[in-house]
Copies of this chain bind each other. A is one copy, B any other.
Amino acid sequence: MQRAVEFVFDVGSPYSYLAYHALPAIAQAAEAQIVWQPILLGAAIRASANHSPFEVPAKMRWVEQDLVRCALSLAVAFSHNAHFPVNTLVAMRIATGLQMRRPDNFPAWVAAAFRAMWGEGRNLADPAELAVVIGEAGLDDRELLALASDQAVKDKLRSDTDAAVSRGVFGAPTFFVGDQMFWGHDRLDQVARSLAQRGGER
């Protein structure tokens, strides 16, 4: 049995981007496997009756400052995204589709999508831009857009999102270590402690 930490994310979520950069070192230190769980955050927020910070102007103004400070303290390149909130439906269907059909290509896509969104402020909801980013990941845009149109892939992203909500997810990033849930990149210290104490064996 290996220790595991589940990472529930959407590439459209800037705090998921910060966690994406911070989690590997924590997992490695605990000799834990990262279990990647793509979801559609907008759907999870609606299904849990939560609200995006984007809906609260004062909160959004603070979030913009906070992201810069958090990225700085993590030494992660960060750019505001003028297109936020971006519809990441196709981008996340690609992530799910790659997990199902071509898992070896999943890491390259997640890296390229996160970098485009939050390192470079690009609009993944724009089909032309999306195709360019797929190319930058070293992947074929026609193949991946066909994959994203596959009904089984669409259904899987939806059922994975619903399953996450059923387990208590209301935002992203969310982490699970065993049955313990942690919300926010700012809880990664607790994730690390939980991995050390409980192990999260699967």
A151 contacts chain B at the CB level, 8 A cutoff: no
Q: Which residues of B contact A55 (CB under 8 A)?
A: 49
A59 contacts chain B at the CB level, 8 A cutoff: yes
In the complex this chain forms, how many copies of it are found?
A: 2
Summarize A's interface: helix, strand, loop or mixed: helix
Interface positions of A from 153 to 194, Cβ below 8 Å from B = 165, 168-171, 180-184, 186-187, 189-190, 193
Q: Please determine whether A61 and B187 come into contact, CB atoms closer than 8 angstroms.
A: no
Q: Please determine whether B169 and A58 come into contact, CB atoms closer than 8 angstroms.
A: yes
CB contact under 8 A between A183 and B48, given known A56-B170, A73-B190, A73-B193: no
Q: Which residues of B contact A181 (CB under 8 A)?
A: 62, 65
